[in-house]
Amino acid sequence: MLHIKCPHCGLRSQIEFAYGGDATVKRPELNKEISDQEWDNFVYLRKSPRGKHLELWHHISGCRQWIKVERDTLTHEIFNTMKADEELK
Amino acid sequence: MQKYSVFSLIKNAFSDHENWEVAWKDPTPKKEYDVVIIGGGGHGLATAYYLAKEHKITNVAVIEKGWIGGGNVGRNTTIIRSNYMHDENGLFSEFGMNLWRNMSQELNFNVMFSPRGIINLAHSDAQMNVYSRRGNSMRLNGIDAVLLGREEVKKLIPMADFSENVRFPIFGGLMQPSAGTARHDGVAWGYARQADSMGVDIIQHCEVTGFDVTNGIIKGVKTSKGNIKAKKIGLCVAGSTNLLAEMLNMTLPIETHLLQACVSEPIKPILDHVVTFGAGHFYCSQSDKGEMVMGGDLDGYNSYAQRGNLPTLQHVLTEGIAMMPFLSKLKMLRTWGGIMDMSMDGSPIIDKTHIKGLYLNCGWCYGGFKATPASGWTFAHTIAQDRVHELNSAYSLNRFSTGHLIDEKGLGTKTWIS
């Protein structure tokens, strides 16, 4: 069982959260000409690293806020959690 | 190569089974090969076998970082089926079904293919409509499908929960009678033994550390056992695809996720078919040893761990008990996990790449085992002829940018959501 420290609620067990995927992908900017390749990068292409991975989780059975979690995809160690609009330091 | 038969069994009994030939050799890698296949799982070994058999290319090495059959081909729930709705998936899988039917004879290795039928349970009228549509699509592609009513399902799997007042009552199901199971280790060993006998080098404990790419052409691979030159290289590494892609500066429409499976203690024969729960994600069959073989959801977050987390297992088994309450009385014997190459539309990729001589076979999600022969056959064709076969032409790498997705389940890009 993962234990995720929600920046709003504190340490909670994994079953309160839903996974939201890679947090490093950025939607192309609005009001700008966007190439097919840029959409491809955003919608489909993923690094999926073995090791540190910055990802979104949704505290769906808690405060219902989206958060960012920096987690190791091999050991499941969690290094950092932050609010969704915060950047990794 | 020594032929396996009842006579060779009797003959070897006289020498206490101490004089059997080794099933495959343990060669040191040569300096250069025509084709190097990375990944000694089912797909990689099948590819090597069909390269040798169908295309007469025998200067081939299969390199594997662990031991052959130690990855997903030895970690799945052994289910073989072709009950897909989309033409691309249906025709590809049905081609594979024909290879499965003759595999034991072809490989001279008993893979214990058991076409016991798969039943997908339906729990609402709407789901019966969906299954009816899928069944009709299957039949149009020449795949057997039978829509079963509640009473018919009850005759086949009487131990399921047919009470009226449950959350997900059984309305009926869709059955593919020709689907079934096979002994997964036997598949890997059978392909390895035949490939080896035709001259393929199977090199175990040999990890890839890098690639030699010059002017957009693949020249070779760097490994823990030295550099190996190759005219062509095929990747068959499932959950490790992204790790090798990174060495090649490629980003793929793949995420690696973890899937668990488990078996119960062995019990007397009770379940004659493969059965899936229609209101969640749970599937079950009974092995020849009597164990109930069960699986279900992905753990649901990127993982390379090859071992799972208990909340998912608990969730999956809750579904199993809802479907067949007797499962709650069983003790669990083993649980394990494997890492899945989840593609962004749930369908695989068998294609050439932008690097000349480099070929990609990945994106099998949690459905790779049944595809082993068809995947190997089409990948061997793609490598040998340097062009895709009609059967795998839809499994292209660029379908994500062109919009020709094969979204069998309609899950969008988040294929890890169940």
User: What pLDDT score does A88 carry?
Assistant: 83
d(CA A17, CA A7): 13
A17 and A58 Cβ atoms separated by less than 8 Å = yes
Tokens representing residue B299 in the block: 């753990």
Closest residue, chain A, to B403 (C-alpha)? A40
d(CA A83, CA A60): 14
Residue A54 CB neighbours (<10 A): 17
Name beta bridge partners: B203.
Answer: B63
Distances (CA, A) of B329 to B262, B267, B335: 15, 11, 17
Cα B255 to Cα B365: distance, rounded to the nearest angstrom: 9
Interface predicted TM-score (ipTM) over 0.90 = yes
Radius of gyration of chain A (CA): 14
Residue-wise pLDDT for B274-294, tens only, equals: 999 999 999 999 999 999 999
Joined tokens for residue B287: 């092995």
Q: Hey, are the CB atoms on B253 and A19 less than 8 Å from each other?
A: no
Residue B321 pLDDT greater than 70, yes or no: yes
Render B226-286 in DSSP notation, one character per residue: EEEEEEEEEE--GGGHHHHHHHTT--BSEEEEEEEEEEE---SS---SEEEETTTTEEEEE
**Average pLDDT of chain B?**
96
Comparing CA positions, the residue from B69, B46, B47 lying closest to residue B359 is B47
Q: Compute the distance between CA of residue A80 and CA of residue A52 in angstroms, rounded to an integer.
A: 10
Q: Considering only the beta carbons, identify the residue of B242, B305, B400 that sits closest to A48.
A: B242
Query: Band of the pLDDT at B410, cuts 50, 70, 90?
Result: confident
Percentage of residues of chain B with pLDDT beyond 70: 100
For residues B218 and B227, the answer to whether their CB atoms sit within 8 Å is no
Q: Mean pLDDT, to the nearest integer, of B179-185?
A: 97
B255:A44 CB<8 A: no
What pLDDT band is residue B191 in, cutting at 50, 70 and 90? very high
Q: What is the pLDDT of residue B413?
A: 82
Higher pLDDT, residue B412 or A68: A68
Look at residue B22 in the predicted model and tell me its pLDDT.
94
Give A75's contacts in chain B (Cβ within 8 Å): 305
DSSP 8-state secondary structure symbol assigned to residue B183 = -
Banded pLDDT at B322 (limits 50, 70, 90): very high
Grade residue A89 by pLDDT with cuts at 50, 70 and 90.
Answer: confident
Q: How confident is the model at residue B418 (pLDDT cuts 50, 70, 90)?
A: low
A66, containing H or E segment: strand A66-72
Q: Which of B243, B311, B400 sits opposite A1 (nearest CB)?
A: B311
pLDDT, tens digit, for every residue of B349-376? 999 999 999 999 999 999 999 999 999 9
Identify which of A39, A41, A73 has the shortest CB distance to residue B303: A73
Q: Are B29 and B203 in contact (CB under 8 A)?
A: yes
* Long-range pairs, B406-414, Cβ under 8 A, ≥24: B406/B86, B406/B88, B406/B89, B406/B345, B406/B346, B406/B347, B407/B345, B407/B346, B407/B347, B408/B84, B408/B85, B408/B86, B408/B89, B408/B345, B408/B346, B408/B347, B409/B346, B411/B346, B413/A43, B413/A44, B413/B344, B413/B345, B414/A21
Residues of chain A above pLDDT 70, percent: 100
Q: Which residues of chain B make contact with A46, given a CB cutoff of 8 A?
A: 242, 251-255, 344
What is the average pLDDT across B83-107?
A: 97
Q: DSSP strand E in B49-127: where?
A: 60-63, 79-80, 118-122
> Tokens representing B241?
């695809």
**Confidence label for B228 from pLDDT (cuts 50, 70 and 90):** very high
| Mean pLDDT within A51-61 | 97
**pLDDT attached to residue A2:** 94
CB contact under 8 Å between A50 and B304, yes or no, is: yes
Confidence of residue B164 (pLDDT cuts 50, 70, 90): confident
Residue A50 C-alpha, separation from nearest chain B C-alpha, in angstroms: 6
Residue labelled with tokens 């950092």: A80
The fraction of chain B above a pLDDT of 90, given in percent, is 95
In this prediction, residues A46-61 reach a mean pLDDT of 97
The pTM assigned to this predicted structure is 0.96
Nearest to A44 among B253, B304, B416 (CB): B253
A9-52 pLDDT, tens digit each: 999 999 999 999 999 999 999 889 999 889 999 999 999 999 99
Whether the per-residue pLDDT at B179 is higher than 80: the answer is yes
Question: B193 pLDDT exceeds 70?
Answer: yes
